[in-house]
Amino acid sequence: MSLDAHDTASRHGRRARYTIVSLVLNPVWNTSHMPVRQTSKREFIALFGFLTSLTALSIDAVIAGMPVIAQELSGGADADVHLIISALVLGMAVGEPVFGPLSDARGRKFAILLGIAIFMMGVVLAITAEDLNTLLLARFIQGVGVAGPKIGSRAAIRDRYEGASMARAMSIIMTVMILVPMLAPALGELVMLMGSWRTIFIAYCVLAVIAALWLSLRQAEPLPLERRTPFRWRQTLATALRISINPRVMPSTIAAGLMFGCLTSYYGIAASIFHDIYDVGGYFTTLFALLALGMGIATLTNSRLVLRMGMYRLSKLALMGMVASGALLLAFSAASDGAPSLIVFMLLFSCSLFAVGVLFGNLGAMAMEPLGAVAGVGASVIASVSSAVAVLVSMTSGHFYNQTLIPLAICLSACALFSLVLVHKAENSELVPVLASIR
């Protein structure tokens, strides 16, 4: 072959490889040139409800497999298996402050698709994990990735809707978020019947691919070029600092993190509670769903009561109820060697979860209230800080878990009491709007 022919073949080979790489990466890196399609309102809500549910599925579906994971990767020792939940939330805390400004600068689809790509890298690592440390690293990567759909979807909904229309769209998506925690462990258990606990992560991969294709092929970029904000580290950090010192934002954000921490603490040990303490593992998914149902009912109840009572008053009542139910659970647990009757646990813990269901929406609204001008960066800061607080709470509670309900009861009552103080502080602070930093 002549030198010219060899150069021509090399150029064609490079061009072919470039074409293949472009076809693979174009959905992430070049979303602005995709076919433009304005989805219907129903499809838009269904799509972003599905994208948002990836977070809950990532947390909850693996719960059913945690006893098996402990047996296979830790030789039956489940002392650190609760970190499977904490590692994911820690990854979210790292990813959330990045994807907010990124979605403002490069578009919502870019942030979401990049997040899904990172999430799938973590899923592949989890499928091949041979020890618990590798699985925890995989879960951390999944958490970083799932922050993309979480933050990007919220921003996309805000792009398309406002006022009452946005409230209606969010209420429908919240209904999906209520159903997912109820059904995810049952889904994980069903998937495991077709294989091992690794099959759960294969299912994650399938769902992520479906989400990416649906978004890529059916949804136009919600944020047009003229509305994008160039990413500047100095400006973003200055805005984040203004948010962090706001007298209403941080108390509400930390309180939200404490409530999320109580929830993730429970998720980390839920399988052990029903399998080891009460020996009702065969009914685990049913009992888990019943408790999650109480939280869902609370979310729907809150949407009706908050207009009449106000979010601060309703939140304080919910926190006082949570302090009481946590203290009662602690008293019953201490009086029965850490294991009160199953009926007592279900009743008292459902009261705590009902309170958490009331608080989630209200605490988020309190934190966002002063952030009208910097809602994008603010949502990232709030999500990241609350996730970081949740990790500290769940890791601490999980560390002291000793196959009794005492550590969980202490966690519930202590976090609720501290949150009550924070909410009272926020309520009595001056409402100072956070302004965007000027370059």
Indicate the pLDDT class of residue 162, thresholds 50, 70 and 90.
low
Q: Average pLDDT of 435-439?
A: 60
On the question of pLDDT at 32 being above 80, the answer is no
pLDDT for residue 72: 87
Percent of the chain with pLDDT over 70: 85
pLDDT for residue 91: 95
- The Cα diameter of the chain in Å comes to 89
Range in 143-147, 248-252, 318-322 with the lowest mean pLDDT: 248-252
| Amino acid at site 324 | A
On the question of pLDDT at 1 being above 60, the answer is no
DSSP 59: H
Q: Which of 85, 64, 38, 65 lies closest to 397, judged by CA? A: 85
On the question of pLDDT at 239 being above 70, the answer is yes
pLDDT digits over 164-216, tens only?
Answer: 566 566 666 766 776 787 788 888 988 998 888 999 999 999 999 999 999 99
Q: Which residues of 176-204 are buried (b: 16+ CB within 10 A; e: fewer)?
A: bbbbbbbbbbbbbbbbbeeeebbbbbbbb
What gap in Å lies between CA 198 and CA 366, rounded to an integer? 40
pLDDT for residue 189: 87
Residue 124 token pair: 């592949």
Q: Which of 267, 258, 283, 281 lies closest to 360, judged by CA? A: 258
Q: Average pLDDT of 126-134?
A: 92
On the question of pLDDT at 419 being above 90, the answer is yes
Q: Average pLDDT of 57-85?
A: 82
| Amino acid at site 350 | S
| Amino acid at site 427 | E
Q: Which of 166, 199, 204 lies closest to 55, judged by CA? A: 204
On the question of pLDDT at 382 being above 90, the answer is no
On the question of pLDDT at 159 being above 80, the answer is no
Q: Look at 15 and 394; give whichever has higher pLDDT.
A: 394
Q: Which of 254, 260, 252 lies closest to 394, judged by CA? A: 260
pLDDT for residue 237: 85
- Count Cβ atoms below 10 Å from residue 213 Cβ, excluding itself: 11
Range in 53-62, 166-175, 220-229, 352-361 with the lowest mean pLDDT: 166-175
Cα dist. 315→306, 321, 366 in Å?
9, 10, 10
